[in-house]
Structure 1
Amino acid sequence: MSVQPATRSTPASRKLLIPVVVSTVSTNVSPVVPPKNNLNMSAFRGKRCALWIICQSAFFVVWLFIAGGPARADLRCQPFAPLEKVAVTHVYDGDTVKLDDGRKVRLIGINATEPGRDGQPDQPFAAEARDRLRSLIKATSQLHLLTDGQTHDRYGRILAHLFNERGESLEQILLEQGLAYHVAVPPNLTLADCFASAEQLAVKQQRGLWSKAGIAPVAARDVQDGGFKRLQGTVTAVQTGRHWRLVLDDVIKVMIYPEHRHRFEAKQLNSLQGQQVEIQGWVYRSRGEWRIKLETPHGMVFSR
């Protein structure tokens, strides 16, 4: 993801809808039971979303509107299953580590910016994220690993959470400090709502990636390459028939594949026509056009 010179949106203007069940204040490490309804694991974020969603769907009356906060200082993204004690021997970057048994671990729920390669400079806050993760691991007397629904990615890396001896999520800490983006990738969504709340703390306080030194969103019409991006644009078309997709600025297709449709409602998607939105995810080229997958409502932000 390249650094864009475009004027960024004001981070403090972002607003978040979170379910009232996501936070816990217990200091004990105890299982967190995920919602039975997959829709309850989603969260629409953004300036315009609150009134629009509450008015248009009775389902959303159970959501709590937070006007750019307040993010809870006592938020705890806790372990939800038995933990495996591990040791880390190398930190590649802010979201990937190597264990002493040779396994490579990609942290669930976050995406840190990339260190420079082939003579290219680091992306903003890439070094800070790597160094912070190193310091968190070094300061931990016992490190614990926890997998979710999918245990490996296509590169053979373990997909997992890391917790310290106090049951604190290292991903949560990075998100709260603005050193990584929250990404909700199914089926590993057990802590997605909690991580969304952690990210909102950084957004509100304009920390790290959400500060003026962070990476500006990319206008959909200006996309020239793939990779992780925050795309901004106007929804110029909505399809909820055989195929579900949004079109941004007539140039980028936002794909909602069949296996992810249960997390959305067609009526709400159709209401996005003409709305300014931000879509977060990995841009790719397919059939001669740029596309981006939308797998959960966590990946959609309503712009100013």
Structure 2
Amino acid sequence: MGLPVLLLGWMLLAGVASAEPLRVTAVLDGDTLELEDGRRVRLAGIEAAKPPRSAAPADGRVWPLAEAATRALSDLALGRRVVVHGPAPVDRHGRLLAHLVREDGLWLQSAMLVRGLARVHTRPDARAYAAELLAGEDAARNAGRGMWRSRVYAVRDAGDPEELARDRDGFQLAEGVVLAVSKTGGEAWLDFGADWRSDLTVHIGRAAMREVSRAGIDPLSFEGRRVRVRGWITLRNGPMIEITHPEQIETLEREAVRNAAVAPTPEGEEDWEEDEEE
């Protein structure tokens, strides 16, 4: 875990030595690009800094981190040959969800994460290398790089339901101590406050519970522990995050060990400081 992005990229590349490298002909934003065969690829497992969904497409507002993410991916990938690694499902927009490794072994996902221009956003069908991706995110966040200097992307306090309610319909990270866990009917609820009717609740439904169990995790083990959870905020008796796969929840006790092994930002890379608008 926490291998430098180039070394891990070579390891991924070694597993697909027969795949044909393809040139990147366009970069659309910080996590989407186009290959010479016409396919569009959404970088699996991450989400780059972007304008919020509520932003008007032509309102004239500037989103410095979104622009920085697009420039960074262009610098890393445009005109370069890459290999599509591992399974590459097609999303609802017709794009491949894939990990991309440059011919020289650089892993694009991890390169964006360690620069602080993307955060980990796994999906049930795009969960590969989550631990390594999280290590890159941790390195950038602990160093205060890029988006981790912005209040827009700051990790939310799981014990502050009013703040979380303001993030309704947004993808967020929240940290806090799980005060209580209940399991019934093949589901589980993690409560971060004394009143489940108003405080943050993390819900693990039946399908997700099967995945959590396969990962060897008992939700009851989260009680009394500090965790970080990521997902979309909805309102249902207070703010709620729905868990669809186990990689959405991290216990933080091992964080120091993971961070110690992560490579620093590559020499010469810019450290983006701009703060996004609300």
The match for 2:172 is 229
Determine if the alignment matches structure 1 residue 192 to structure 2 residue 130.
yes
Q: Assess if the C-alpha contact under 8 Å between 1:124 and 1:209 holds in 2.
A: no
Determine if the alignment matches structure 1 residue 92 to structure 2 residue 28.
yes
After TM superposition, give the deviation of residue 166 of structure 1 in Å: 0.4
* Structure 1 SS opposite 2:77: helix
**Cα RMSD after superposing both structures:** 3.4
* Structure 1 SS opposite 2:147: helix
After TM superposition, give the deviation of residue 160 of structure 1 in Å: 0.8
Q: Assess if the C-alpha contact under 8 Å between 1:79 and 1:167 holds in 2.
A: no
User: What amino acid is the match of 1:215?
Assistant: Y
Determine if the alignment matches structure 1 residue 175 to structure 2 residue 119.
no
The match for 1:246 is 190
The match for 2:270 is none
Identity %: 27
The match for 1:23 is 3
User: What amino acid is the match of 1:216?
Assistant: A
After TM superposition, give the deviation of residue 134 of structure 1 in Å: 0.9
What's the TM-score once normalised by structure 1's chain length? 0.64
* Structure 2 SS opposite 1:277: strand
After TM superposition, give the deviation of residue 298 of structure 1 in Å: 5.5
Query: Please, which runs of 5 or more residues in structure 2 have no aligned partner?
Result: 256-278
What's the TM-score once normalised by structure 2's chain length? 0.69
After TM superposition, give the deviation of residue 115 of structure 1 in Å: 2.7
Match for residue 80 of structure 1 among 15, 35, 39: 15
After TM superposition, give the deviation of residue 158 of structure 1 in Å: 0.7
User: More displaced, 158-167 or 234-243?
Assistant: 234-243
Q: Deviations over 1:86-141 (max 9, x none)?
A: 2333322211123344422110121112136303845562211111001112362x
* Structure 2 SS opposite 1:134: helix
User: What amino acid is the match of 1:258?
Assistant: M
User: More displaced, 237-246 or 120-129?
Assistant: 120-129
Q: Assess if the C-alpha contact under 8 Å between 1:124 and 1:215 holds in 2.
A: no
Matches within 5 A, 1:1-304: 18=1, 23=3, 78=13, 80-81=15-16, 82-115=18-51, 117-118=55-56, 119=59, 121=61, 125-138=65-78, 140=80, 142-148=81-87, 151-211=89-149, 215-220=153-158, 221=161, 222=163, 223-224=165-166, 225-241=168-184, 242-249=186-193, 250=196, 251-256=199-204, 257-261=208-212, 262-266=214-218, 269-284=219-234, 290-293=240-243, 295-297=245-247, 299-300=249-250, 302=252
- Paired residues, what number? 235
After TM superposition, give the deviation of residue 173 of structure 1 in Å: 0.8
After TM superposition, give the deviation of residue 24 of structure 1 in Å: 7.6
Q: Assess if the C-alpha contact under 8 Å between 1:86 and 1:99 holds in 2.
A: yes
After TM superposition, give the deviation of residue 161 of structure 1 in Å: 1.5
Equivalent-residue separation in structure 2 for 1:175 and 1:28 (angstroms): 14
Q: Assess if the C-alpha contact under 8 Å between 2:233 and 2:239 holds in 1.
A: no
Equivalent-residue separation in structure 2 for 1:28 and 1:94 (angstroms): 21
Query: Please, which runs of 5 or more residues in structure 1 have no aligned partner?
Result: 1-17, 33-77
Q: Assess if the C-alpha contact under 8 Å between 1:279 and 1:300 holds in 2.
A: yes
After TM superposition, give the deviation of residue 236 of structure 1 in Å: 3.5
Equivalent-residue separation in structure 1 for 2:84 and 2:119 (angstroms): 20
Equivalent-residue separation in structure 1 for 2:14 and 2:235 (angstroms): 37
The match for 2:269 is none
After TM superposition, give the deviation of residue 171 of structure 1 in Å: 1.1
